[in-house]
Amino acid sequence: MSMKLAILAVLAAGALVPAVARASNSNAGSETTTAGPVSATLSWDAGEEDPTNVRLSISRAGSVLFNRAIPGVCPQECDLSVPDTDNFQLVDLDRDGEPEVVVSAEPNECCDTTIGIYGFNAATGTYTELAKDMGEALVDIEDTDDNGTVEIVGNDQRFKNLVPGHSSLFFPPAVFGYEHPASGPQLVDRTRKTLDVVSEAADELKSLLNDLKTADAFSKIYVGSYVAEEYLLGHGKFGMKEFNRQAKRGTLGNAKSVKKFRTRLLRLLKQYGYR
């Protein structure tokens, strides 16, 4: 089940929440995962609500090559949602035969997710850290197009500028690939190379648009995100047709509000490279 489809299932139950429910991990503990010669252990101390003093240890062929706190992912307290294989796993992200350690956590009270990727550097015999704030997103790690390469799927957080002061899990998908060149690890945008993800997101969001009834910030976010996805797929006219349909239905506010929102949306789509 895709991320947006999972959200739609919650919507059907009438209880859309802003992010994944925070799990209680207030007791001290540890979790270990292993793949071939690589073993990683995540450990934490007890906190009032969430774990504290989170540490990561990585060994390869019995030798400990990384063993320290990971403040870039969990600065003080954070929700680890451990045990959860999606939030702590070993996976070969760059197809080099060497698994990376992936840790996901919510470092703040609500609701952004930070992902930490720890990759082996054969030249130095050590592990490097890449930490990225994915924003308010349900992060998914999967081979999106069945080509053997694993991608990291989140949402385009720039769309927080569409309706200032509001965020959503329904922003257009953003797909990243992990690369580990000599200059250091990096996430590379692969969204345009994995348009099946965008197409699926657009189809799922379209079913939500059919049920819109009120004019509010989230209606604008849903419509704007759908239009962005259609532009990315090369169907900009089709996306704007839906925009006009929603405007006539009244879900985007009065005529003045619609005009203002249309101008803002098209400007941002141009700025962000969607059109």
pLDDT tens per residue, range 24-74 = 446 888 999 999 999 999 999 988 888 889 999 999 999 999 999 999 999
pLDDT over 90 (residue 226): yes
Query: How far is the C-alpha of 274 from the C-alpha of 208, rounded, in Å?
Result: 21
pLDDT tens per residue, range 248-273 = 999 999 999 999 999 999 999 999 99
Per-residue pLDDT, 107: 81
Can you tell me which residue has the tokens 């009032």? Answer: 48
User: What secondary structure does DSSP assign to the chain, as a single string?
Assistant: --HHHHHHHHHHTT---SSPPPP---S-EEEEEEETTEEEEEEEE--SSS-EEEEEEEEETTEEEEEEE-TTT-SSB-B---S-TTTEEEE-SSSSS-PEEEEEEB-SSSS--EEEEEEEETTTTEEEEEEEE--S---EEE-TTSSS--EEEEE-GGGGGTSTT---TTSPEEEEEEE--TT--EEEE-GGG-HHHHHHHHHHHHHHHTT--S-SHHHHHHHHHHHHHHHHTT-HHHHHHHHHHHHHHTTT-SHHHHHHHHHHHHHHHHHTT--
Query: How far is the C-alpha of 127 from the C-alpha of 118, rounded, in Å?
Result: 6
pLDDT over 90 (residue 110): no
pLDDT over 50 (residue 16): no
Pair of tokens at residue 272: 């962000």
For all residues of the chain together, what is the average pLDDT?
88
Per-residue pLDDT, 15: 33
pLDDT tens per residue, range 168-189 = 999 999 999 999 998 899 999 9
In contact, 171 and 155? CB cutoff 8 Å: yes
Count of C-beta atoms within a 10 Å radius of residue 226: 25
Rounded to 5°, angle at Cα 212 from 210 and 217 = 135
Mean predicted confidence (pLDDT) in 204-220:
94
Per-residue pLDDT, 24: 44
What predicted TM-score, i.e. pTM, was given to this entire model? 0.86
Q: Residue 61: what are its φ and ψ, rounded to 5°?
A: 55, 35
Can you tell me which residue has the tokens 């047709």? Answer: 241
Looking at per-residue pLDDT, the higher value among 272 and 2 belongs to 272
In contact, 205 and 243? CB cutoff 8 Å: no
pLDDT tens per residue, range 135-163 = 988 899 999 988 888 999 999 999 999 99
Query: How far is the C-alpha of 19 from the C-alpha of 110, rounded, in Å?
Result: 8
